[in-house]
Amino acid sequence: MTSRHQSATAAPSATDSEPLLPAELVSDVLGAALETGADFAEVFAEDVTRSGAYFDDGRVESLSSDRDRGVGIRVVSGESTGFAHTSNLTADGLLRAARTAAAAAKGGSGPRPVPGLQRRNGSGSTVDVQPTDVAKATKVELLTRANEAARSTGDAITQVSARYGDSRRRFLVANSDGVLAGDDRTRTLFSVSCVASGDTGLQTGSETIGHTIGFELFDRYDVEELARRAANRALTKLEARPAPSGTMPVVIGPGSGGVLFHEACGHGLEADLIRKGASTFAGRLGEMVASPLVTLVDDGTMGDEWGHLGIDDEGNPTNRNVLIENGVLVDYMWDGLQARKEGRASSGNGRRESYRHLPMVRMTNTFLAPGDTDPDDIIASVDHGVYIARFGGGQVNTASGDFTFGMVEAYLIEDGRITAPLREGQLIGNGPKVLTQIEAVGNDFQMGPPGTCGKDGQGVPAGMGVPTLKVSELTVGGTAA
């Protein structure tokens, strides 16, 4: 029925756990996917466990845990892709899914042999304490401590909510190029949000932490300090002025501002949008597309950052990919499918939300590299403008780069000093244009809070970061006269 690979190696795992699928079965499924003579076939098996807790209005609102296992099978023939997924992990269930995907791909002239599979493991997460080994009561205690600390900052804090979450994702991927790879990733997250009530109405403040590590996250961070910080942010905003309106210099603080470049520029550097001509960066390799101060990087190898990957979801090693270097566009991000079409290697940016989804080009940890300017000097260079410490949600046209982002924590800059806090307003501009308008880049680089990158209905963990930087002019949509 099928041609087995030459050496039956156990399907890899980054731990001592049992392999997700026997190697012989993986080979049989690939063989079934190649029965119609397709150009490429891939098996992706996944096992995910999650737990979470939510605290609101003085009590635990929910405790949750779940497990999700399944296999996705992709078959590519020319420009046609067939895909099927199943949670039936028996041999019959997987072989049926493989043949369904092969039929949908409108394959070639006859069966192709399955190649020898070369094992390639990811580095996995560095985990000292698996969250599954921690009692639910211990996780809930984090939430109650955060609630008490936030409320202790003042009577004006009228509402506190806190959320804890962890996940462990094991997967293996095998394909007709001979790849057999696996990884094991644990992520842990905590967030707290506070509402303050005053004469100006309700104001909010929040803090979120998350890394690709285990429960030892809470050896690094004090949840009570995080809660006080969130509460004080809400209290400060009670004294906020209306944000100004008009075009003016904007200074973006370290960390959180990375979301602006992720959304307004990063997606435009993904190879699928480039090949469709749906990006302003298409056909511009080697051109000056940004200020010479700008070096934009996507790096899936960054330690335990939220977007860290040992390998991507196609089994390719992740890399430090420089996209813009000293203002010059030097490369795009590539998944395996787009790279095959261009006859080049993947950059390790093939990602999928789960086994139910096809992989596509996605960012990992995307950031603007630090410069050498003191952030105090950057602020001192602005006579009248806005300092944005934290961004909220926004909307971006990925084809044009036009964006609108919320400013959830911002301050007025007057005569080179940060002065009054501002009420929430909008920041309006164009991502590619912003790249050319960056006049100063600080030496205080930080990664921002953990994020989720959405694209074509899929969401994946992503990290973002920037140092302090100055944009010569952006439109601020405030309410001040």
Percent of the residues in the chain that have a pLDDT greater than 90, as a whole number: 85
Q: What is the model's pLDDT at position 113?
A: 77
Full 3-state SS string of 247-294: EEEEEECCECCHHHHHHHHHHHHEHHHHHCCCCCCCCCCCCECCCCCC
Q: What is the model's pLDDT at position 3?
A: 30
Fold observed for domain 23-237:
PmbA/TldD fold (3.30.2290)
**CA 194/CA 203 separation, integer angstroms:** 8
CATH 3.30.2290.10, the chain: domain bounds: 23-237
Q: What is the model's pLDDT at position 437?
A: 97
| pLDDT tens-digit readout, 458-471 | 999 999 999 999 99
| pLDDT tens-digit readout, 262-303 | 988 999 999 999 999 999 999 999 999 999 999 999 999 998
Q: Which residues pair with 72 in a beta bridge?
A: 44, 85
**CA 198/CA 101 separation, integer angstroms:** 59
Tokens of 108: 């070639």
31-62: burial string, b at 16+ Cβ within 10 Å, e else: bbbbbbebbbbbbbbbbbbbbbbbbbeeeeee
Q: What is the model's pLDDT at position 6?
A: 30
In the chain, % helix, strand, coil (3-state, to 5) comes to: 20, 40, 40
Q: What are the phi and psi torsion angles at 362 (to 5°)? A: -145, 155
**CA 132/CA 142 separation, integer angstroms:** 16
Residues 6+ apart with CB under 8 A from 70: 45, 46, 85, 86, 87, 89, 354, 355, 356
Q: Element (H or E) spanning 21, and its range?
A: none
* CB distance 300 to 316 below 8 Å: no
Q: What is the CA radius of gyration of the chain?
A: 24
**Number of continuous H segments (helices) and E segments (strands) in the chain:** 10, 23
**CA 76/CA 42 separation, integer angstroms:** 9
Full 3-state SS string of 94-145: HHHHHHHHHHHCCCCCCCCCCCCCEEEECCCCCCCCCHHHCCHHHHHHHHHH
| pLDDT tens-digit readout, 37-87 | 999 999 999 999 999 999 998 999 999 999 999 999 999 999 899 999 999
Three-class secondary structure of residue 355 per DSSP = coil
With bands split at pLDDT 50, 70 and 90, how would you rate the model's confidence at 126?
confident
Q: What is the model's pLDDT at position 391?
A: 93
**CA 315/CA 433 separation, integer angstroms:** 35
Burial label for 219, CB within 10 Å (0-12, 13-18, 19+), is exposed
**CA 448/CA 93 separation, integer angstroms:** 43
Distances (CA, A) of 426 to 195, 236, 242, 247: 20, 19, 12, 12
* Residue of 152, 149, 288, 151 lying closest to 224 (CA atoms): 149
pTM, to two decimals: 0.93
Q: Element (H or E) spanning 149, and its range?
A: helix 136-151
Q: What is the model's pLDDT at position 123?
A: 64
Give yes or no for residue 109 having a pLDDT over 80: no
Three-class secondary structure of residue 209 per DSSP = strand
* CB distance 459 to 426 below 8 Å: no
Q: Which residues pair with 428 in a beta bridge?
A: 404, 475
* CB distance 380 to 387 below 8 Å: no
Stronger pLDDT, 421 or 11, i.e. the higher one? 421
Euclidean distance between the first and the last CA atom of the chain, given in angstroms as a whole number: 76
| pLDDT tens-digit readout, 390-429 | 998 888 888 888 999 999 999 999 999 999 999 889 999 9
Three-class secondary structure of residue 2 per DSSP = coil
Full 3-state SS string of 195-207: EEEECCEEEEEEE
* CB distance 348 to 316 below 8 Å: yes
